[in-house]
Structure 1
Amino acid sequence: MHHIFWAILILFLVAALLRMDWIYYLVYVVGGVWVFSHWWIRRILSRLRVERRLPRYAFANEHLTAQVVVQNPVWLPLPWLQVQEAVPLELKNQAEYRTVFTIGGHSVLEHSYPLYCRRRGYYTVGPLTLRTSDLFGFVEARWEEQKAANLIVYPQIVPLSKLGLPSRSPFGGLATRQQMLEDPARMSGVRVYMNGDSLRRIHWKATAHEDTLLVKKFQPSKEVPVAILLDLDREAYPIRSRVGSSEWAISIAASIANAIIGQRQPVGLITNGSDPLAGKAGANITLHGGQEHLTTILSLLARIQMHTTESNLAAWMPAQVASLPWGTTLVVVTPQLDEPALWVLHSVSRRGSNVVVLVCARQRDFRSIQGYGRQLGVDVHSTIWDRDLVEMAEA
């Protein structure tokens, strides 16, 4: 732009010195075109209305189509307009996200481009950049979007049958266990003490009045809450399969949460992973039900990352599970399990919780740990699927 200005000024000086009329005409024409082009391009670019249409959520391995809508509300056209989108590498489905087109006056132009959600995450799409100029190249203008869009890619959801659990797993039998659990907040009467009853259930006033040991009877519970404890301690995962195993663990947690919400039961999430959006390690989503609650859990699982913790699983768990309601099923997703952690889970089981551990990485002494857990009332299962690990690691 400055080069054109100096060229016009030099031509004007030459015309003044040589007194040549045709140079004056050339100066007037070029100068007029330059001034008009400057006003024309700047005016249209400042009036353009740009909208990006992009879903807020998607799942891993899902293909999306985003759309950019450009509206020109004035009567002046643009000879050419370049639209360039900034797309993260994990979402790219083509080499470049740039296109050039002509937009007329009082017209709307729509441009679509593909996205491929290779892996879960919290991504920023944008900013969008527009470039244009006049027909002669006298004036170039650029516009950049002030606020980019966010896209949350949820973890991959797999059927629970793919986790390798036995057919009589606690997840498959929620409807049956629903009638077996009792709600300690709703007492329905008393009955004679039977061998195996907890001392906490003894109704001392009724026992003293009847001179017979009596325990409280409770109404059946309508809900079977499930708390998912996700271990994302970086040092607990095998170095060779750290990325694949941790992604598989997150997918397991997401799949269980999705299945439990699908059965209209409350679910919660406890993890020692790091949330980049919150800027801290550790997160706890309380027990609740409904699709909105599932969205909250999946959004956290989309962002969560491995974190090097100061304490191991056995030392970290007690404070996390201390406030679980009676009758809660605790599902622990971890890459490895040892005896100290089993004893912690044994104490949780004795407090009235059903405890299930899903080991998502290879462990040499798994069989012995599984047998020891059976003795302590803790169900331990292996959920390793090599094909899935390879797919997630390569994604």
Structure 2
Amino acid sequence: MSAGAPRGAGGGSQGGAGLRASLSGLTTRGRSFLAAGVAAALCAYVLGQGELLRVGLLLAALPLICVLALHRTRHRVAGSRRLTPMRVAAGAEARVQLRMDNTSRMPTGLLMLQDRVPYVLGPRPRFVLDRVEPGGRREVSYRVRSDLRGRYPLGPLQLRLTDPFGLVELTRSFSTYDTLTVVPRTEALPAVRLTGETAGYGDGSRRSLALAGDDDVIPRTYRRGDDLRRVHWRSTARYGELMVRREEQPQRSKATVLLDTRGTAFEGAGPDSAFEWAVSGAASVVLHLLEQGFSVRLLTDTGNAVPGAGGKGFSSGGQESAEAAGLMMDALAVVGHSEGAGLSRAYDAVRSGGGGDGGFGPGGGDGLLIAFLGELDDAQADMAARMRRLSGAAVAFLLDPALWAGRPSRAEERLHRLRDAGWTALAAPPGVAFGELWRQAGNAPLGTGPSGGRG
């Protein structure tokens, strides 16, 4: 919700500058009245016609009186905007509700509302409101949608005040605006078991201490508030003090979603381009893994990770996962091409990230790595192969620009190199549904493509 009064509202007259601005609001009809009145007054002076002088003064005074009336009443209208929802997927609609309140003791004249919106959201909405009684309220609404992700400002709201004769039209802008975030389209993914992957919370084999620090051992000393049912009587008799068993909780497995944003790795633009397909796929994977209980981070080829609630950019559980999902979706809404030419920074980020149970490290781990890659030359294919050794399971979706442009492609050669390194590598041709590729990745043996053959 945003609310405010027109810009310049401060109560009382705005002085000479404000009055001159109001005079500039004379319409063609108002300027014609003023010109006709001045001309009639001059003719009456030359010809000595008193009646004509009165007519000229009336014609000249009428638009000036309307200017003064609008100048004194333009601050007495308050406006607000409500945007629902403030974050939508590309292609979905959001509803914008505008409300105008007449806070003065006088009724308004004809009001024309116009809200500024970017052209990608649709035509600029305009509304005409008839007389609003003192203390009255009028509400109107319109809908916006965009096929292009991004952050789009809505506003400021413009209000046009007119007099009953149509002689003056003043435009005032409110000072507040809202922002609509259009996130990438996402697809509900099937629950598949990727080769080498542990479940989001483990299968009971990976555990971590709870309610205990790094120095805790089995058992530990009783602490106030511990459940007496956890008392370990054998240890209590041995140590001579009350001892309790430690609790265990599942360790959240970690997953990194790597999005290649190199400008040299993709061709084309628009909603149907390969890069937009990769962004939508990354968004779908992020949401799916968070729903499955993984601790997730979003990484780009620049080495920058979208910050989550946990360290190294990984999300935590509970409410923090929802907040991390919002951060990642907001980042994907505005992500663009980077100027980098390689994946070395992403490799360093994967190598240094996480650690410990379920993480990544120089010796490998049981973490999950999902990569959306553009064109790979020999050096970058080798870098991706080295990156595979840092995770327990790795799935790569290769979007070769030549394949998307219908030209001869070396995608199969790159896929074989990735599969030889242990990746589950799949080509993403134009028009394919990501959910189908995700299902194929779950059915493919380690280091194979959808055909099931060894790389």
Same fold flag (TM > 0.5): yes
TM-score, scaled relative to structure 1: 0.73
**Contact 2:148–2:271 (8 Å) recurs in 1:** no
Using the TM superposition, give the Cα deviation of residue 236 of structure 1 relative to its aligned residue in structure 2, in angstroms. Answer: 1.1
Please list the CA deviations of residues 44-68 of structure 1 after superposition, one character each: whole Å capped at 9, or x if unmatched.
Answer: 3221111122132111110222122
Match of 1:46, SS state, is coil
| Alignment map for 1:109-148 (pairs within 5 Å) | 109-148=138-177
Deviates more, 1:27-36 or 1:73-82: 27-36
Residue 334 of structure 1: aligned partner? 373
**Contact 1:72–1:103 (8 Å) recurs in 2:** no
| Alignment map for 1:231-242 (pairs within 5 Å) | 231-238=260-267
Q: Does 1:57 align with 2:87?
A: yes
| Alignment map for 1:71-150 (pairs within 5 Å) | 71-92=101-122, 95-106=123-134, 107-150=136-179
Residue 273 of structure 2: aligned partner? 244
| Alignment map for 1:139-288 (pairs within 5 Å) | 139-161=168-190, 167-169=192-194, 174-175=199-200, 177-181=202-206, 222-238=251-267, 244-272=273-301, 284-285=306-307, 286-288=313-315
**Contact 1:64–1:115 (8 Å) recurs in 2:** yes
Residue 216 of structure 1: aligned partner? none
Q: Does 1:354 align with 2:393?
A: yes
Unmatched runs of 5 consecutive residues or more in structure 1:
190-218, 274-280, 390-395
Q: Does 1:381 align with 2:392?
A: no
Name the amino acid aligned to 1:130: L
Match of 2:130, SS state, is strand
Using the TM superposition, give the Cα deviation of residue 308 of structure 1 relative to its aligned residue in structure 2, in angstroms. Answer: 3.0
Match of 1:316, SS state, is helix
Q: Give me the whole-angstrom Cα distance separating, in 2, the residues matched to 1:7 and 1:365.
A: 78
CA distance 1:104–1:221, change in 2 (3 Å): closer
Aligned-residue CA RMSD in angstroms?
A: 3.6
TM-score, scaled relative to structure 2: 0.65
CA distance 1:235–1:330, change in 2 (3 Å): same
**Contact 1:248–1:388 (8 Å) recurs in 2:** no
Using the TM superposition, give the Cα deviation of residue 228 of structure 1 relative to its aligned residue in structure 2, in angstroms. Answer: 1.2
Q: Does 1:298 align with 2:337?
A: no
Q: Give me the whole-angstrom Cα distance separating, in 2, the residues matched to 1:251 and 1:360.
A: 13
Please list the CA deviations of residues 252-302 of structure 1 after superposition, one character each: whole Å capped at 9, or x if unmatched.
Answer: 1111111122223321111147xxxxxxx9554311131111111100100
Unmatched runs of 5 consecutive residues or more in structure 2:
1-25, 218-247, 308-312, 360-367, 435-455
Q: Give me the whole-angstrom Cα distance separating, in 2, the residues matched to 1:168 and 1:306.
A: 32
Match of 2:371, SS state, is strand
Name the amino acid aligned to 1:159: A
Name the amino acid aligned to 1:52: R
Aligned length: 345
Q: Give me the whole-angstrom Cα distance separating, in 1, the residues matched to 2:391 and 2:342.
A: 24
Using the TM superposition, give the Cα deviation of residue 97 of structure 1 relative to its aligned residue in structure 2, in angstroms. Answer: 1.9
**Contact 1:229–1:331 (8 Å) recurs in 2:** yes
Residue 6 of structure 2: aligned partner? none
* Structure with greater strand share of residues: 1
CA distance 1:29–1:368, change in 2 (3 Å): closer
Q: Give me the whole-angstrom Cα distance separating, in 2, the residues matched to 1:154 and 1:256.
A: 14
Q: Give me the whole-angstrom Cα distance separating, in 1, the residues matched to 2:415 and 2:207.
A: 28
